[in-house]
Structure 1
Amino acid sequence: MAKPDPLHMVLKLTQDAEEQASLQLRSAQLELQRRQNQLEALQNYRLDYMKQMEQQQGQSISASHYHQFHQFVRQVDAAIVQQVNAVKDADNQRQHRQVYWQEKQQKRKAVELLLANKAEKAKLAELRAEQKMVDEFASQQFYRKRQR
């Protein structure tokens, strides 16, 4: 029975590592999308609020209401700035995980290439051995015919 090639175990490990990296990348992509959606919701909320105030523009607005409006807009703007930073952080994380996944993918492909090369060399060696046996058999047949 042939001894198992340790490269097959290495391949299994690299495949597992690549799969884990792929799952981490997918998670980072989903988190980025979630944060982008939150940013978009905040921006839309601000826009809607501004439209509401614009519709009330011809009406008399108390000073305290006007002050509350500006204070609220500043709070929403601060939340938008925070969310923009959260989106940037999530995008950086996604980029980092993408590079990590690509590294794991390259390692897996390198091990697969090593195994393919090894299999090709083994096949060539087997073909040479078969050819040698055929050649020996043919030469034995030739000598037997000559000796008769």
Structure 2
Amino acid sequence: MLIDLARNGANQAGKQLQTLASEKAGADQQLSMLLVYRQDYAERLSKAAQTGLSASNYHNFRQFIATLDEAITQQNRVVAQIDAKIEQGRQHWHAEKRRVSSFEALQSRDRRQQLTREHRAEQLASDEISANLYRRARPSH
């Protein structure tokens, strides 16, 4: 029963790790999109500056790029937080797997000890039967 509980715990930890990996993929994709979007706007600003750009349009471009930079910074924080959660999840999963292994090792050791006791009992019974047969077969004086 303890092994089953430990296995369930390890399975749950594995599922949580998979969920975090999915979150990480989504966060990475969002960060990528923000970086591409920022690059696109920086190129637009550069092209617009070459053809002539009013001060207010230049200010709007720079303000929007600054907003994108802030969003990128926030998304980098989100990715870092998810990475930290993944590391914690990995450690938890490894701990649960070690727990399962420990219980399985204890169970295995208990089985070996039980088999050793059974073999000893069988050997004692066999020795006793042999001794009784020997005594009966031996002529008495």
TM-score in same-fold range (> 0.5)? yes
Q: Which residue of 2 aligns with 1:112?
A: 104
Q: Which residue of 2 aligns with 1:98?
A: 90
Q: Which residue of 2 aligns with 1:87?
A: 79
Aligned residue for 2:138, secondary structure, equals helix
Tell me if 1:49 matches 2:3.
no
- What is the deviation of 1:43? 0.8
- What is the deviation of 1:18? 1.4
Which amino acid letter does the alignment assign opposite residue 30 of structure 2?
Q
- What is the deviation of 1:10? 1.4
Aligned residue for 1:58, secondary structure, equals helix
Partners of 2:13 and 2:96 within 8 A in 1: yes
Gaps of 5+ in 2: none
Runs of 4+ off more than 6 Å: none
Q: 2:32 aligns with which of 40, 47, 58?
A: 40
More displaced stretch, 74-83 vs 13-22: 13-22
- What is the deviation of 1:49? 2.0
Partners of 2:41 and 2:61 within 8 A in 1: no
Matches of 1:147 and 1:139, distance apart in 2 = 14
More displaced stretch, 32-41 vs 71-80: 32-41
Matches of 1:49 and 1:137, distance apart in 2 = 95
- What is the deviation of 1:71? 0.7
Q: Which residue of 1 aligns with 2:54?
A: 62
Gaps of 5+ in 1: 1-8
Tell me if 1:14 matches 2:6.
yes
- What is the deviation of 1:57? 4.1
Matches of 1:147 and 1:33, distance apart in 2 = 88
Matches of 1:74 and 1:147, distance apart in 2 = 110
Q: Which residue of 2 aligns with 1:4?
A: none
Matches of 1:99 and 1:64, distance apart in 2 = 52
Which amino acid letter does the alignment assign opposite residue 99 of structure 2?
K
More displaced stretch, 79-88 vs 93-102: 93-102
Which amino acid letter does the alignment assign opposite residue 108 of structure 1?
V
Q: How many residues align?
A: 140
TM-score normalised by structure 2 residue count: 0.90
Q: 2:117 aligns with which of 110, 113, 125?
A: 125
Tell me if 1:75 matches 2:67.
yes
User: Among the aligned pairs, what percent are the same residue?
Assistant: 29
